[in-house]
A and B are shown apart, each in its own frame.
Chain A
Amino acid sequence: QQQHEDLSAKKLRLTKPSKSAALHVDLCKATSPADALQYLLQFARKPVEVESVEGVVRILLEHYYKENDASVRLKIASLLGLLSKTAGFSPDCIMDDAINTLQNEKSHQVLAQLLDTLLVIGTKLTENPSVRMRLVEVACKHLTDSSHGVRNKCLQLIGCLGPVEKGAAKEVESQAAKDVQKIIGDHFNDQDPRVRTAAIKAMLQLHERGLKLQQAIYSQACKLLADDYEQVRSAAVQLIWVLSQLYPESIVPIPSSNEEIRLVDDAFGKICHMVSDGSWVVRVQAAKLLGSMQQVSSHFLEQTLDKKLMSDLRRKRTAHERAKELYSSGEFSSGRKWGDDAPKEEIDTGAVNLIESGACGAFVHGLEDEMYEVRIAAVEALCMLAQSSPSFAEKCLDFLVDMFNDEIEEVRLQSIHTMRKISNNITLREDQLDTVLAVLEDSSRDIREALHELLCCTNVSTKEGIHLALVELLKNLTKYPTDRESIWKCLKFLGSRHPTLVLPLVPELLSTHPFFDTPEPDMDDPAYIAVLVLIFNAAKSCPTMPALFSDHTFRHYAYLRDSLSHLVPPLRLPGRKLVSSPVSPSITPHEDPSQQFLHQSLERVYNLQHLDPQGIQELLEFTIRDLQRLGELQSELAGMADFTATYLRCQLLLIKALQEKLWNVAAPLYLKQNALASAAAKQILEETYKMEFMYSGVESRQVVIIHHMRLQAKALQLIVTARTTRGVEPLFGMCEKFLQEVDSFQRCFISELPHMQGSFVDKLLDLMPRLVTSKPSEVVKILQTTLRQSTFLHLPLPEQLHKATANIIEPTGESDNPLRFTSGLVVALDVDATLEHVQDPQGTVKVQVLYPDGQAQLIHPKPADFRNPGPGRHRLITQVYLSHTAWTEPCQIEVRLLLAYNSNRSKASAKIPKSTWSESLEALPQSENGIEGTIPFSKPVKVYIMPKPARR
């Protein structure tokens, strides 16, 4: 003992060889600049600890002064910048040196690099105004440098560090830094385009940092729009946009006339002009910015859609105008005749303005642009402007409809989405609807589904329009039967939005006849169901409609109401009452009866504490069955019902496991029967993970309960193991682990514990001191009794609960033709699936491929493979690469989707307050033993494949 203490007293101090010293030696060894450069490059590859940064910097600076070769100095300068970025290092001690080095530097490149270093230093010390002032002063001094690189960096520095607050500028009585805006503005007409760009960027940077730019810059910026270089123009467009947002209402004169207009209008006109710029980068920029200029006058806005057509100097109407006229004249459709578009009135040649028309036709050009990037930007801008101006929305409709026929799918999709977004502002004319509906035949599922979404929220003006839409949707249905659900949903909304328009169509749609009985249509025909969905939804707000139904329609209603309850609303039909629920007075009248039912059944379960075990089991079984059925009927309650059913099932399993008669039998005899209990424990564990990770909207209250259930399962596991294994050795570890878990449970959910009186964990915590000291066999005994005695915890339900579901659309698994490929090579399998209510699908959703030999392959889809067509919905379209050694005959593989989870990513651990050191330190080891796993959440699909042996 004595010796031991002595040894520990002599502390061994291990020092790492100093970085700076090594570098110094290396640099001194260097015989030529090339050598020195090599050393520096090697040095740069290794990280430097915070403590030694300063020393290294000193060494570097020493060499810097000695070095004659510019390239080495350049490298040193860049290293200085790199080093001052080191986290935890405060670079103010090296700032003076860095500024000093600037003084004697001749090489422009090194100068630029040094300024860059200063920028890094400055950005690390932003809260120190005097440092900033000093750096800005240095930058101003070097603005007169003849090299563009140096001027560039100076401007960047000024932009990033220039004083933003007015007070600060006055306080520090420095000539140079007084008016950064003016200094930067002077460089707007520098001879080098790169410097001009940097100047504008610096100005924008100042704006971003909160400096209010002066209006005087506007005219300067306008001149820059005609610059020869695209980067300058692109930056200038941004600057003009910024100014237009700052001073929308100021008045600017129109050159060449005495008139004056608002600045935002003028800027709008100028940016519109840039939509026909020579460079597509500028065009994209301009088109994007147009969308956010909402203060512009409507008069200017509407011009963007107007391109005055003429032919041989005579005014011509656009096809849109003609279509509108044709429509209003009552004619349905006529083929275009030769000379139909014959020009009408003469145009006064003097009045035609071909180019200086400002906003004129900007969107017409943008939407016709060669590059799809520009077109998408234009569509987006249209969308934003139309959302804020209903009259503009009405006008741009024609153009959007035209975009539905763009050659690039992304553009089509984008314009459909746009249309959906503005759909509450518009009503589609019949001819427009016609064009819209034509797209329903598109072979891309994305497009069709987007269009269904659009139709869900579209206003149609006439009954012919509804009829047309129905006909086209049915056509769509026959062509692509997989769209069934989406089409039904679409018709549901179409019907409920336009009850009065559907009413006159009913006899025709149901093909009823006043005198003759018509044959009863086939109930399983998806097209017939589609028609019924439309009609029933319309009938909901149109009480006269059911009078037109024939007998079988009522029968079909009853059937559909039951089987497709999410599509068919409850109707007040004559002769049958709505099933009125036994109303209990406590429940508010507006509450849904099914919701009520859910709560009631749960209530029933929780209240029954002291029934005989058999009774509890039965009741639980019944309730679970009820809940499952409810979930099927009421889609909006499905998540809730499933969640509770799962919870009850866990409870049931637990009860069953504890009810086993064989608990009291001696261990060796028990061996055979343990299957049930340990399987139950395992299943409960699985179910709890499902509950925690498969449902969106789970709150911490639920998470506690879930974890509690898991704890119980673990206790069960422990008991079962204790009973079945001989010897005490393995139990030590398990007990320890279990107690740790109890401990971490307590830490995580300390705030929730008061709600859990009488529960397993509550009792356990009371016994904790005893448990820690007792032997494993005793622990097991205690656990067993507490598990039996503990009460059943009430599971509170959150507002919204949705179960994550996945449905693999493709591959369909119906193909009999095996996918043939040469063994050893890969074959790509297209996978298309819809995901609902999956949070962060990019991180959690995986594809699993199971080969017949038991080999399993897990594929992580790329983040780009996930689309987000609507809130809570995702779509996975990816390719899975398959490969295998040769088989003698084709066989099926299984493809399924998995939801990966990681227990330390759970909502619970995120809630741990990390206020104190000790806690967060303890949380670390816990996260290491977090369990990762996967939950299969889609039906597996079988794919027939056949790897052929390679031919020699």
Chain B
Amino acid sequence: MPEIKVTPLGAGQDVGRSCILVSIAGKNVMLDCGMHMGYNDDRRFPDFSYITQNGRLTDFLDCVIISHFHLDHCGALPYFSEMVGYDGPIYMTHPTKAICPILLEDYRKITVDKKGETNFFTSQMIKDCMKKVVAVHLHQTVQVDEELEIKAYYAGHVLGAAMFQIKAGCESVVYTGDYNMTPDRHLGAAWIDKCRPDLLISESTYATTIRDSKRCRERDFLKKVHETVERGGKVLIPVFALGRAQELCILLETFWERMNLKAPIYFSTGLTEKANHYYKLFITWTNQKIRKTFVQRNMFEFKHIKAFDRAFADNPGPMVVFATPGMLHAGQSLQIFRKWAGNEKNMVIMPGYCVQGTVGHKILSGQRKLEMEGRQILEVKMQVEYMSFSAHADAKGIMQLIRQAEPRNVLLVHGEAKKMEFLKQKIEQEFHVNCYMPANGETTTIFTNPSIPVDISLGLLKRETAIGLLPDVKKPKLMHGTLIMKDNSFRLVSPEQALKELGLAEHQLRFTCRVHIQDPRKEHETVLRVYNHLKGVLKDYSVQHLPDGSITVESILIQATAHSEDQGTKVLLVSWTYQDEELGSYLTSLLKKGLPQST
């Protein structure tokens, strides 16, 4: 029985370090190659030795697919391809290919330059790694090799995020990566057609959450910012450089535009400008509004948002500043925070989750006095707000995607085990499909029941469908033909053609049956009676009386002889080829019933 095997090396019942191995129809595919944010040792990368202990990975993997540019989905890529060694193709979408190296470089800088780690990948390695990348378009079917093909679908989440369909023969797997089923200010919603894959591998970050409408949050956010600016206060929004930051920028930009506001908005420089550049380029990947209006104005060409300079922080008057990093643990955002914290007119808005121990987490949990380095005590008088903007599908969204794709099996990754359990139960209950949630390193085997395509010659098909009724979708149809299995392909051809192709002579197979009839008359009279009888019954067939005293019904031959012992009994010899089996057996049964009494 054919099977699909799935082994998560990361993201199995866990968030982070996404890396899933799939073997399908003899092909091995690696989905994502991410790092784990929580670890700084070997555990931060997936354990590639699982694939092979020694020897190049290229021999064992047919391709690698990266769903989007977040580091927990692509962070281990240079390590994997350059340090462990992989030369095969790596597939990602165009925006991912463009933005990924920026993030990897940033990640490398922080680890090597700031933390001083050695034995880490170098800039050159990132470049080399990116050379192996093959970029794909949405809905473009890419032939990896003769049997394996992949296709990308839009996934929302971040710019260039994609879901991938992997197809080998008739078996297929869909990997969602991270996706978002509700559109936001700059991206659309994930969409997939009814592709009915054998297996759907879905993320499940929000397996147990049904989220509120996005509009309330947006409105709250805008209202807070607007009020503060009107009061003359300054707003600090700590963000990470990519993804949400752009969404918030667009949100504020359009709001400023709509409301004709004049207060300046700044964005701390660095990564972002480069990233914004790519956002400008990949307009086709954004949502309807941006796509439609970019002819007049590209939404990412911010009119109101300008680059931030350190000196601006001391300027009087209201302003809004986006600054990195997002958790207020270091860098520019923290510097600005320290400057502004003392004034109750100001406000800080945390747009995302903050890890314990960071300044962000402390102020969110209500701490008003912070101890900074150098034993300084910083009193926080400014307002602290929390707004969650996150772009994962919630439980309803996941169910919606499953409904759209109609998979035969579902496998959950990228979520917490406890939450997955709930969703798994729900999926099984509502869609009646199997659902799996393997842990890291655990292999799930899924048996598939693939349909096998057979080529049929058009002539045969037409001939066979012409017999009998109209083709009906609901009922299988019986066909006569010869199945030829040759060179890994199946063909259904007519028997004659099969004989010709195979160079075989045709053997005739005839059935002959004797039927005894009580009839005292002469042989030819009996024959005549039989003939008349058959002619009367079988109106649709051509019944002929041949001069040699035999009767033919189509190709069936009937001869009558007198019984050697009993002259009153006539023996009818009925003979037919096996093709006419149906008619032949009908005839014999008809004759066995005897002839009607002649008048």
Q: Which residues of A contact B (CB under 8 A)?
A: 144, 146, 189-191, 228, 276, 278, 307-313, 316, 318-320, 335-338, 341, 349, 352, 354-356, 361, 364, 367-372, 399, 402-403, 405-408, 435, 438, 441-444, 479
Contacts and interface: CB of A to CB of B under 8 A. Distances in A.
B226 A354 contact: no
B46 to A, nearest CB: 28
Contacts of A309: 210-212
Contacts of A407: 185, 254, 289
B259 interface: yes
B288 A402 contact: no
A403 B216 CA distance: 10
Contact of A438 (B226, B254, B364, B385): B226
B183 A319 contact: no
Given A407-B185, A479-B260, A335 B213 contact: no
Interface string B161-188: 0000000000000000000001101001
B132 interface: no
Q: Which 3 A-B pairs have the closest CB atoms?
A: A319-B216, A370-B183, A402-B215
B387 A336 contact: yes
A310 B220 contact: no
A405 B289 contact: no
B506 interface: no
Contacts of B185: 407
Given A320-B216, A368-B215, A443-B258, A278 B193 contact: yes
16 contacts: A144-B470, A190-B473, A191-B471, A276-B400, A278-B193, A307-B396, A318-B216, A319-B217, A319-B220, A336-B387, A341-B212, A367-B213, A402-B213, A402-B216, A402-B219, A407-B289
B40 interface: no
A465 B574 CA distance: 103
Interface centre among B188, B219, B425 (most CB of A within 10 A): B219
Which of A228, A337, A403, A405: most chain B CB closer than 10 A?
A405
A479 B400 CA distance: 45
A338 B182 contact: no
A408 B287 CA distance: 12
B222 interface: yes
B137 interface: no
Contact of B258 (A146, A368, A444): A444
Contacts of B396: 307, 354-355, 361
A443 B257 contact: yes
A479 B194 CA distance: 52
A311 B419 CA distance: 10
B386 A337 contact: yes
A335 B224 contact: yes
B507 interface: no
A371 B222 CA distance: 22
A438 B223 contact: yes
Contacts of B473: 189-191
A672 to B, nearest CB: 62
Contact of A442 (B211, B216, B258, B386): B258
B366 interface: yes
Contacts of B385: 335-336
Interface of B: 182-183, 185, 188-189, 191-194, 208-220, 222-224, 226, 254, 257-260, 287-289, 364-366, 383-387, 395-396, 399-400, 403-404, 419, 422, 425-426, 430, 465, 470-471, 473-474
Nearest to B250: A407
A444 B257 CA distance: 10
Contacts of B364: 338
B231 to A, nearest CB: 13
B259 A338 contact: no
Contacts of B191: 278
Nearest to B474: A189
Contact of B214 (A311, A368, A371, A442): A368
A782 to B, nearest CB: 68
Given A144-B470, A311-B209, A372 B289 contact: yes
Nearest to B219: A405
Contacts of A190: 473
Contacts of B386: 336-338
Nearest to B289: A407
Nearest to A273: B403
Given A368-B182, A402-B215, A443-B258, A349 B210 contact: no
B259 A370 contact: no
B145 to A, nearest CB: 29
Given A370-B288, A372-B289, A319 B212 contact: yes
B208 A313 contact: yes
A563 B216 CA distance: 44
A191 B400 CA distance: 27
Contacts of A144: 470
A564 B254 CA distance: 38
B212 A318 contact: yes
A307 B181 CA distance: 15
Contacts of A311: 208-210
A285 to B, nearest CB: 17
A309 to B, nearest CB: 5
Contacts of A354: 210, 395-396, 399, 426, 430
Contacts of A371: 288
A307 B210 contact: yes
A352 B182 CA distance: 21
Given A318-B212, A354-B210, A442-B258, 18 more contacts: A191-B471, A307-B213, A309-B210, A310-B209, A310-B395, A311-B208, A311-B209, A312-B419, A313-B208, A320-B216, A335-B383, A338-B384, A355-B396, A355-B399, A370-B287, A402-B213, A407-B254, A444-B258
Contacts of B395: 310, 354
A311 B289 CA distance: 30
B303 to A, nearest CB: 13
Contacts of A435: 219, 223
Nearest to B189: A370
A611 to B, nearest CB: 62
A196 to B, nearest CB: 10
